[in-house]
Structure 1
Amino acid sequence: MKLIPRLKQSSIQQKFQWVAKPDKYMDSAVKQAPDMFIADIAGEDGYVFVNHPEAMRQIVTSDRHKFFASSKNNDLLRPLVGDNSLILIEGDRHKQRRKLLLPPFHGERMQTYSKLICDLTHNIISQLEPNQPFIARQVTQEISLQVILEAVYGLQDNQRSAELKQRIAKLANIFESTLTSAFLFFPWLQQDLGAWSPWGNFVRQQKAIDEAIYQELATRRTQDNSQRQDILSLMMSAKDEAGEGLKDIELRDELMTLMLAGHETTATAIAWALYWVHRHPEIKTKLEAEIASLGADPAPMEIAKLPYLDAVCKETLRIYPVAMLTFPRVVQEPTELMDYKLETGQVLMGCIYLLHQREDVYPEPLKFKPERFLEREFDPYEFFPFGGGKRRCIGEALAKLEMKLVVATIIAQYDLELIDSKPEVPVRRGVTLAPKTGVRMMFKGKR
């Protein structure tokens, strides 16, 4: 068996580069070790970054006695989502919670959410001023947040919804730069030095959101919510096999997870898609023609089935995946992975970014080419934007639906153009990869 390669840079150099320029860190590392390497970015032993499809398959399909999905290596998310989030619970408790939460994100309810997504997109985009510049990611964040508030919370566009939306946006935007993202990676920076300090601001915004959530839960507990279709109502009515529902603290943490992990990632993915489509006019033309082929006023779920639209969204999620890494797995006993020796306690991370950049899987990986998803079908361990196995993203169906419908609605109904001729580059935004400028665009008006 072979030893897993270590990188040449010191642990301190690696950690700072990982936080400051994660894409450059991974691009450099894969040149030293193509399939897997030890990333000295946390703890004494670091993490094992893996990007070979076969290794990814083994990691996510092996039972817990070989590779255990441990939440302790996701501790940097704890301040954001709380101790009771699906992201941070383990074992049987995670299995039961996932089973409880899956139904609201699948089936016929997607039909209800689809019209809501299209309507919200129209409402928000139509408020832009003609011939005025705007930041695409700010607009997509507003759309995604409103989807969360109405589809997840069941809050209509009223004063309470507006206040909560403003609070959530402020909380998420605290970590929009590399500098402030560092607060998640270096716990000694997490000092409340007053409302003016980044962490102090975070604590206060989070407290205000908590008050709003608990007030909403208390109100719902006094009402008959049996006819409501929003995800919060469905979560509150769900019962496990023992007849137990979720406690308020558990509901709070799951709502924070959906708000931050859900709206943040989707907003970024849509902004990237708008960038790529407008960067390549021939792709935009093909997309417009495909949407137009459905005729006037097509049903949202018909739009979502369009193959080229699907390919554009997949290629967007491939080239710069918003989530760079999979859920960590801890080695439970000495074993091997593709002839590499693994020791008990080592932490494995599937590296989605590097997997999606493999030239043996995706020829010309730096080229935005939606056609690759029409020419062949990639297996689940080659295309991995939502993770895999028991830790696959629970909101995947809603996220994909939202991405397709927002992009299609904007492309079919509105004229936008990019302001910058320079290529957009990825930068760290919290634990994700986002466009550096947010994608600067000009709104030309309704088509």
Structure 2
Amino acid sequence: MTLPPSPKSPGIIQLLQWITNPLGLMDDCARRYGDTFTLRVGTNCAPIVFLTNPQAIKEVFTADYRQFASSKANELAKPLVGQNSLFLMDGDRHKRERQLLMPPFHGEKIRSYGELIKDITLAVTKDWQSGQTFIVRDVMQEITLGVILRAVFGLNEGERNQKLRHLLCEMLDNISSPLNSALLFFPQLQKDLGSWSPWSKFLRRQSEITELLMAEIQERRENFDPSRSDILSLLMSAKDEAGNPMSDAELHDELLTLLVAGHETTATSLAWALYSIHHVPGVLDKLLHEIDNLGENPDPNIIAKLPYLTAVCNETLRIYPILFITFGRVACSPVKIMDREFEVGTSIAPCIYLTHRREDLYPEPEKFKPDRFLERQFSPYEFLPFGGGTRRCIGIALAPYEMKIVLAIILANWQLSLADKTPVRPIRRGFTLGPKGGVKMLIKNQRYRSVTEKIAN
């Protein structure tokens, strides 16, 4: 079998381009090779087939879960999330773990977090002052980390909460630059060379996070309260089809996965949303008209149903997807995708970034146009910010719900503007795509009643 076309440059060069300029590399390949191409950007420079045609993506997403295994490239995330993470599982074990994790992230359970998200947003922004500037991503990270610690762990303010906040933010910030990202993409650099070496610092930080998580798990085991509704309590109560609960090691790694993936990604999307809302003419006025029509102290679940706000969040996730590609899949048996045959062992990755920029799906794809999501409905193979199939992100309901509430509360209470009119460009942050500089904004005025008064009431 001949793989789809690929750049002629050596694999190591492609990998370095993937680390330092992934968007440029993908754009160039799409121009030269079309819907399907091959890059050597995984571990050991192994080839990965990129798919951008919705029909091809549908055939991957709807395949039997035994048709594909987790790509070896996914193991690059192991230092961050542990070997028992859902990200790294295959087959029946992946199916079991997903069934255990899904209930707390579904429907009515998600809607029960609405007031919590609203209260945390108000609390984080209550001390803002007119004339003050702030980095949006940092503030959004404070909000989303507060939500995840409260919703997942039920952790209120306290020493353990504060330590986890500090360690998680420090860990993610330290791998955000392309240079530090190389530690994740080159396992041979993952060596403890003494207390001041980058990997030694990473390991010490991970050890401290593990100690805090295991202490929380042990404490909750010893004082289990079945009436608690946080996700940790629900996971402790969950049993698979054979009646087996999650082990401490599984709990630890899944909690770490939720902490790492569940707040950083949403915070970055919120930063992009606030940037676009204030950068693109007309968007803010439409949003304020829709939000203000709800009156004071709106129900979070009503906020989440606002059509234009939903369109703004979808357009943010389209034009600035957090991940470039879905988690890779490896063919466990020969597979035909559209008109191409792929042999056993072929790594395949639907490309979120390029699919979201297809001119035939999204006219003027580089422009931020929320109305496109009001004018038509896109299939899960055309709009896939959370991946798809059996490996679709379990946060697909929580993340957009949280985004809408946070944006509505901030915009209802504060008049903001961009502190720098220079267009913000996307850059790599570890495995994700974030705004360079985090987006700097200016607080101009409060709108309507004071935020402090709203909290008091």
Same fold (TM over 0.5): yes
CA deviation after TM superposition for structure 1 residue 444, in Å: 2.3
Matched with 2:105 is 105
Q: What code does the residue aligned with 1:273 have?
A: A
CA contact (8 A) 2:15 2:45 kept: no
Residue pair 1:183, 1:189 contacting (<8 A) in 2 also: yes
Q: How many angstroms apart in 1 are the aligned matches of 2:279 and 2:198?
A: 35
Q: What is the correspondence of 1:75-94 to structure 2 with a 5 Å cutoff?
A: 75-94=75-94
Q: Deviations over 1:176-217 (max 9, x none)?
A: 111111111011221223443322221111111111111111
Q: 1:128 maps to what in 2? A: 128
What per-residue deviation string (whole Å, max 9, x for no partner) do you get for residues 404-431 of structure 1? 1111111111122111111111100010
Report the equivalent of 1:210: 210
The 3-state SS of whatever aligns with 1:437 is helix
Q: With the length of structure 1 as denominator, give the TM-score of the two structures.
A: 0.97
Q: What is the alpha-carbon distance in structure 1 between the residues aligned to residue 358 and residue 108 of structure 2?
A: 37
Distance of 2:203 and 2:170 partners within structure 1: 11
Which residue number in structure 2 is paired with residue 332 of structure 1?
Answer: 332
Cα offset, 1:342, TM superposition: 1.7
Unmatched segments (≥5 aa) in structure 1:
none
Aligned partner letter, 1:228: R
SS at match of 1:348: strand
CA distance in 2, matches of 1:40, 1:165: 36
SS in 2 for 1:14: helix
Give the distance between the partners of 1:2 and 1:344, measured in 2 at CA.
Answer: 13
Any idea what the Cα deviations from partners look like across 1:310-366, whole Å, max 9, x if unmatched? Answer: 000000000010011112121233343222232221100010000001111100000
Alignment-derived partner of residue 390 in structure 1: 390
1:320 corresponds in structure 2 to 320
Asked whether the 8 Å contact 2:65–2:390 carries over to 1, the reply is no
Per-residue deviation, residues 383-409 of structure 1 (Å, max 9, x unmatched): 000011111101211111111111111
* 2:415 counterpart SS class: strand
Mapped to 2, the partners of 1:337 and 1:107 lie a distance apart of: 33
1:50 is aligned to 2:51: yes
The 8 Å contact of residues 71 and 87 in structure 1, kept in 2 or not, is answered as no
Identity %, equivalent residues: 52
Aligned-residue offset at 1:69: 3.0
- Which structure 2 residues correspond to residues 260-299 of structure 1 after superposition, within 5 A? 260-299=260-299
Instruction: Report the residue type matching 1:280 in the other structure.
Output: V
Taking the aligned partners of 2:146 and 2:342, their CA distance within structure 1 comes to 45
Within 5 Å, which residues of 2 pair with 1:149-228? 149-228=149-228
Stretches of structure 2 lacking an aligned partner (at least 5 in a row)? 448-457
Whether 2:249 is the aligned partner of 1:249: answer yes
Matches within 5 A, 1:297-446: 297-446=297-446
Structure 2: how far apart are the matches of 1:441 and 1:219?
41
1:41-84 deviations in Å (ceiling 9; x for gaps): 2346410011110000001111145x413253301000011111
Distance 1:44 1:203 in 2: 25
How far residue 13 of structure 1 moved from its aligned partner, in angstroms, is 2.0
Quote the residue 2:454 is aligned against.
none
Q: Distance in 2 between matches of 1:118 and 1:12?
A: 46
Question: Hey, what does 1:59 align to over in structure 2?
Answer: 60
Residue number in structure 2 paired with 1:115: 115
**Residue 94 and residue 2 in structure 1: after superposition, are their counterparts in 2 closer, same or farther (change >3 A)?**
closer
With the length of structure 2 as denominator, give the TM-score of the two structures: 0.95
CA distance in 2, matches of 1:13, 1:171: 27
Counterpart contact for 1:356–1:365, Cα < 8 Å: yes
Secondary structure class of the residue paired with 1:317: helix
Equivalent-residue separation in structure 2 for 1:68 and 1:133 (angstroms): 48
Give the drift of 1:164: 1.4
**In structure 2, C-alpha distance between the alignment counterparts of 1:161 and 1:411, rounded to whole Å:** 28
The equivalent residue for 2:144 is 144
Q: Is the 8 A contact 1:145 1:165 kept in 2?
A: yes
Equivalent residues of 1:71, 1:89 under 8 A apart: no
Partner Cα separation in structure 2 for residue 219 and residue 341 of structure 1: 52
CA–CA distance in 1 between the matches of 2:71 and 2:255? 18
RMSD: 1.5
**Worse-matched range after superposition: 275-284 or 324-333:** 324-333
